[in-house]
Amino acid sequence: MTKNATLFNRPNTSWFELVSTYDEEFIDDLKSFVAYENRKWVPETKSWRIRVSERNFILRLLKMHEYTVLEEEIEFSPSPDANLFRMVFNLIPDEYVPGVYRALAQAVHSDHGGTNEQMRDLNLAYEERKQ
Same domain, 9 and 61: yes
Domain enclosing residue 43, as ranges? 4-73
Same domain, 11 and 60: yes
State if pTM tops 0.85: no
Give the pLDDT band of residue 82 (cuts 50, 70, 90): confident
Same domain, 8 and 69: yes
Same domain, 51 and 14: yes
| pLDDT (tens digit per residue) in 89-119 | 888 888 988 999 999 988 888 788 878 888 8
Which of helix, strand or coil describes residue 106?
Answer: helix
Same domain, 22 and 47: yes
Domain boundary among 29, 54, 73: 73
Name every residue whose Cβ is closer than 8 Å to that of residue 117 and which is 6 or more positions away in sequence. Answer: 79, 81
| Number of separate domains in the chain | 2
Same domain, 35 and 87: no
Same domain, 51 and 19: yes
pLDDT of residue 13: 77
Same domain, 122 and 84: yes
d(CA 126, CA 95): 13
d(CA 61, CA 87): 39
| pLDDT (tens digit per residue) in 4-62 | 998 988 777 788 889 888 999 999 999 999 999 999 988 777 889 999 999 999 999 99
Q: DSSP secondary-structure letter at 92?
A: S
